[in-house]
Every structure is written in C-alpha cells, then in structure tokens.
Amino acid sequence: MLDHNIEDEKYKVEVTVPVIGKSAGVLSFNDLKTGGYIKQRQKDKFTVRCMVPGGRLPIKKLKKIVEVAEKYGADYVHLSIRQSLEIPYVDYHNFDKVVAELSEVDQKVASCGPRVRVPTACSGCEYNPNGLSDTQGLTKVVNDKFFGAECNHKFKTSFSGCPIDCARTSEMDLAFQGAVFPEWEEEKCTGCRICASACQEDAIHDHPETGEPIFFPDKCLYCADCIRACPTEAWVSGKTGHIVRIGGKHGRHPFKGSVVAKFVSDEDVPVIIEKTVEWYNKHGVGKGRIRIGTLLREEGMMQSYMEHMKDVFKDKAVKDPKPPLEINIQE
Amino acid sequence: MSDIKVDAVLDITNEVCPMTFVKTKLKLETLETGQHLEVILNDGEPLRNVPRSLKEEGHRIVGTKKDGTKFHLIVEKGM
Ligand code: SF4
Ligand code: SF4
Ligand code: SF4
C-alpha cells in the first residue's frame, strides 16, 4: 500500500477531540493529518505529532510524553526532521485521552498541511559559542503568534543563530539568521594580526607594516569571529539583527531562498512574517497549493513582494533581490 | 611582548579543538591569578576558539606575536 492512498479524503473515522480547524466528529484522514494526527499503514493506528518549537522540550513535558507513549503508543518515539516528537501507533479511539494527558503539561499537538508550521531553530546565543541571536526566544514568540495560521500551502520558518546556518534558513519559506556587523576602533588596536587570521572569508587583511586590519565589507558574512578573537576589543559589534531569507524549500525540486533584507530587528520579525503571509495569500489565490518560492519565481513577483514589504524592511531591504533559485538534486 | 615575564609556556600546536582550550585551561589552573602563560597555537580554528574562550573565562591576552602560521599569546590569568 502506498502512503498517499491511506491519506485519501475518502477514509474517515470518528474522533472525539477537536482537530485544528475542525471540531470533534467524523473527520477524514486528511483533516486529521492537518491537525497533527497522521494515519499509519496499520489499521486504526495514527502517529501523534507533538510540537516542540525550536527543538526545545522542557523535561516536564518530555516525561509526560514518555508516559503517554508507554500507555498508548509503541516502545519508541520518533524525532521528526523538523524537531517534532512523534508518538507512533496510537489507536484513534484513544485520541481524547492522549490529548487530555498531554495538555496536563500544556503539550500541544503540532499541525501539518497548508499553514504556518512550528518554527525550527538552533540553540542560538544562550550558550552556543557561535550564536548571535536569540533564536529560542523568537521561536516562542513566532509560534505563539502564528501557529496554525492558514496559507496556500505549507509555510516553514526557522531561526539560525549565525551564518553557519544549522537551521537551514536558505531552505525555508521564510527564515531568519543572526548577524553582526563588525566595527573597528583604531585606538584600541595593537596590530597583532589575529583578526586577519581568524576571519575565514578573507574580509580582513593585515596591513603589511602595522598589522592593523584592512576590512572588505563586501566579503563579510557578519559572523563576529573577528570580534571574539580580538584580544583588545578593537573589533566591536556594530549593527546587529537578522538576515531574512525567503522562498526556499526542500523536496524533489528544492529552491535556495533569497536574501531580501539584512539586519532586521527582533521586533521586525513577527511583522515581517505577518506581512509576508498576507502577500502570499493574496497573490496565491486561485493557484492551488503553491509554495511562496514558486510564486516568487513568477515574472514580476519579487518586485511585487519587495514593494509590499518596503514599509517594514525600510533601509534594511536588499536592492533588487534575485528570485529563489531552483537546485537540481536529481543528478 | 618581550617585557612581560612568562611563568609557563604551553604549546598546543599538536592539539585539536576542543583539546586546545582544555589543555590551556588545565595549565592555567596551575598558575596564580596575575601570572602569565605563553600559549603557542596554530592559526585557523584554534585561533578562532582559544582567544575567545580565554576572554569569556575572564583571562586577559596581554601580548601577541605572529610567527609564520603560529601565534604566541601571553595570557594573564584572571580570577
Ligand atoms: S547556526 Fe550558528 S549559533 Fe546556531 S547552532 Fe549553528 S553554529 Fe551554533
Ligand atoms: S564578521 Fe566574520 S566574516 Fe566579517 S570580517 Fe569578521 S570574521 Fe570576517
Ligand atoms: S585582532 Fe584586534 S588588536 Fe589584533 S590586529 Fe585585529 S583589531 Fe587589532
């Protein structure tokens, strides 16, 4: 049996818990999947997807999930690629008990389908030595505000704390990566040449005589290695914020997202998501299940998007950004 | 950097991260606050990690010298 057959609309079961966008009752497997209950190959068995925004799971919730899985699931749980924790082999007759027990610790079931998905994120600046942004804090804000918001198709967001981009912001529909612009204070510099060696992007050369840095901002990725390595704090943080990427996706025909703004603030982030979803829903009308990256690749759409966003991006907008790029992974 | 009296020398050019910093930290533990350790390290990853970690842990880099692809750091032990 193929997976898409068992997700077919025509199969329906009666459930006693409300699923996102639907109240309890006779629901199709598709409705259930949208609500985070995914039909398995095995009769009556579903995988219940627990939301774990940014991959951070309080121990209290983890313990409860273990308890629920032991009672109603199999002898394992599964960590999804997008940081959710899935409980397989739950009989749908038990959905109400599973939901009730999970809600004792405020553990929610994640969504699927054409909506804003639970954001993924790296650990960010709290203890990660490379982290430049509060990815976890933003994940929470964004998940609380946008979880389940409807779109034309799935809408994935993520937060990376630095240009190493562990949360793959270039493969998301809309995502944010921490960045710091380094500024040099001449009077503190001893000309030790450490920064020129520390920079991996050739954005700093050492002056042959003085050893002082010569900075090439066009090559800079805003990683802050120079700031961290400088023994005398001669490199300091200038503007800080997020690089914004849009229109990426994975799948059979992945797209690489495009950078549309640089150094937007934490406060800008929810506004950017809201305005972007607004543009997406408006321009995707009548186009079926279309990802934002596909839409942005249509003639004139990138310009339309940038125009729509200009009051939010302001001077942080990138000039004439390219549409998302299709990547061939089949050869 | 010649005017600073060095109390110990540590060569970590044969170590990889994170042992570079672990060795440096263990060596620093044998010194008193205010004493100086000369650390010899390679550029690249060690140079990106060791100075930053030293600063984060409250030590000061009071002298530096570039020596081909190696660097010498004079570290003053913090509290
Ligand atoms: S993206 Fe940067 S901050 Fe986040 S986990 Fe990776 S290296 Fe650390
Ligand atoms: S921020 Fe990173 S890329 Fe930019 S100059 Fe500093 S070390 Fe190089
Ligand atoms: S690392 Fe700091 S002190 Fe050394 S050359 Fe660079 S800016 Fe100057």
**One-character DSSP codes across A66-78:** HHHHHHHS-S--E
Q: Is residue B61 part of a domain?
A: yes
Ligand 1 center to B18 CA (angstroms)? 16
* Mean pLDDT on A252-277: 97
> How many residue pairs bridge chain A and chain B with CB atoms within 8 Å of each other?
43
pLDDT at B53 over 70: yes
pLDDT at A10 over 70: no
Question: Same structural domain for residues A64 and A211?
Answer: no
Q: Is residue B2 part of a domain?
A: no
Say which residue, A21 or A169, is predicted with more confidence. Answer: A169
* Mean pLDDT on A23-35: 73
Q: Is the C-alpha dihedral spanning A214, A217, A220, A225 positive or negative?
A: positive
Quote ipTM for the complex: 0.84
Q: Is residue B51 part of a domain?
A: yes
pLDDT at A9 over 60: no
Q: What is the structure's pLDDT at A4?
A: 43
Question: Same structural domain for residues A45 and A120?
Answer: no
* Mean pLDDT on A189-206: 96
DSSP E strands in chain A: the ranges are 12-15, 25-28, 37-39, 45-50, 78-79, 85-91, 120-121, 157-160, 174-184, 204-206, 213-215, 235-246, 255-256, 258-264, 325-326
pLDDT in tens, A137-192: 999 999 999 988 888 899 999 999 999 999 999 999 999 999 999 999 999 999 99
Q: How many domains does chain B have?
A: 1
pLDDT band at A278 (very low <50, low <70, confident <90, very high): very high
Query: Is the CB of B66 less than 8 angstroms away from the CB of A211?
Result: yes
Q: What is the structure's pLDDT at A3?
A: 43
pLDDT at A110 over 80: yes
Q: What is the mean pLDDT of chain A?
A: 92
Residue A68: both structure tokens together: 């629920």
Active site residue B17: yes
pLDDT band at A112 (very low <50, low <70, confident <90, very high): confident
Is residue A72 within 8 A of residue A97, CB to CB? The reply is yes
Matching residue, tokens 């490199």:
A235
Question: Same structural domain for residues A135 and A235?
Answer: yes
Question: Same structural domain for residues A39 and A155?
Answer: no
Q: Is residue A59 part of a domain?
A: yes
Task: Give yes or no for B61 touching A (CB within 8 A).
Answer: yes
Question: Same structural domain for residues A188 and A276?
Answer: yes
Q: Is residue B3 part of a domain?
A: no
Last residue of a domain, one of A103, A133, A163: A103
pLDDT band at A7 (very low <50, low <70, confident <90, very high): very low
Domain with residue B63: its CATH number is 3.30.110.40
Q: Is residue A5 part of a domain?
A: no
Domain that holds residue B55: 8-76
Chain A residue closest to B45 (CA)?
A198
Alpha-carbon gap, residue A214 to A233, rounded angstroms: 16
Interface with chain A: mutation pick from B4, B42, B48, B72, highest number of A CBs within 10 Å: B48
Give residue A226's identity as a one-letter amino acid code: C
Task: Give yes or no for A190 touching B (CB within 8 A).
Answer: yes
Q: Is residue B57 part of a domain?
A: yes
pLDDT in tens, A291-325: 999 999 999 999 999 999 999 999 999 999 999 99
pLDDT in tens, B3-52: 789 999 999 999 998 899 999 999 999 999 999 999 999 999 999 999 99
Question: Same structural domain for residues A162 and A40?
Answer: no
Alpha-carbon gap, residue A118 to A252, rounded angstroms: 22
The pTM (predicted TM-score) of the whole model is 0.90
pLDDT band at A132 (very low <50, low <70, confident <90, very high): very high
Q: Is residue B64 part of a domain?
A: yes
Alpha-carbon gap, residue B59 to B56, rounded angstroms: 8
The strand pairing partners of B49, in sequence order, are none
Question: Same structural domain for residues A23 and A58?
Answer: yes
Strand order in the sheet with A258-264: A120-121, A157-160, A174-184, A235-246, A258-264
Domain that holds residue A239: 114-331
pLDDT band at A2 (very low <50, low <70, confident <90, very high): very low
Q: Is residue A4 part of a domain?
A: no
Question: Same structural domain for residues A96 and A121?
Answer: no
* Mean pLDDT on A104-109: 94
Is residue A154 within 8 A of residue A117, CB to CB? The reply is yes
Is residue A154 within 8 A of residue A173, CB to CB? The reply is yes
* Mean pLDDT on A26-34: 73
Domain with residue A206: its CATH number is 3.30.413.10
Q: Which ligand is the nearest neighbour of the Cα of A216?
A: 2
Q: How many domains does chain A have?
A: 2
